[in-house]
Structure 1
Amino acid sequence: MVKPQEIAQHLGVSKDTIRNWIKKGAIPYRRIGKQYKSKISEVDAWVDSGKSAEIE
């Protein structure tokens, strides 16, 4: 599990973009205490599925 800033770096977007996607429930994540974390494999699968292109 990695933090949003690591996912942002992996995808080449800003931390703010990742935060917005989390607020919209668009990107796969888990809340652990007060932190949001994601598995890179789940995020890659989400991108490969084309769902990332559907974000408004």
Structure 2
Amino acid sequence: MTDMTNDKWINIDEAAEYLGVKPATIRDWIRKGKDVPAKKIGKQWKFKRSELDQWVRSGKAEL
């Protein structure tokens, strides 16, 4: 069964804290086309922890 906390939408500050980087780093990754699993909702970037986990495991994160 899927952990519901991993499917909750989080903002860029929460995503940065989750990944251990600064929000500016995530914005830079998005600008550089690093395939960050992000959705723009209105003017804000939103993320799901489960998608971030999968992205890191895929090796695309290059953290």
- Under TM normalisation by the shorter chain, which class is it? 0.7 to 0.9
Identity %: 50
Aligned residue runs from structure 1 range 5-44, under 5 A? 5-26=13-34, 27-44=36-53
Whichever structure has more strand as a proportion of its residues is 2
- Give runs of ≥4 in structure 1 deviating > 3 Å: none
What is the match of residue 4 of structure 2?
none
Aligned length: 54
Mark the runs of 5 or more structure 1 residues left unpaired by the alignment.
none
Whichever structure has more helix as a proportion of its residues is 1
In structure 2, C-alpha distance between the alignment counterparts of 1:36 and 1:17, rounded to whole Å: 13
CA apart distance, 1:39 = 0.6
7-16 or 22-31, larger mean C-alpha shift: 22-31
Deviations 1:2-55 (A, max 9, x none): 1111011001101110111122232110010111101110011000111112x8
| TM-align CA RMSD | 1.4
> TM-score under structure 1 normalisation?
0.86
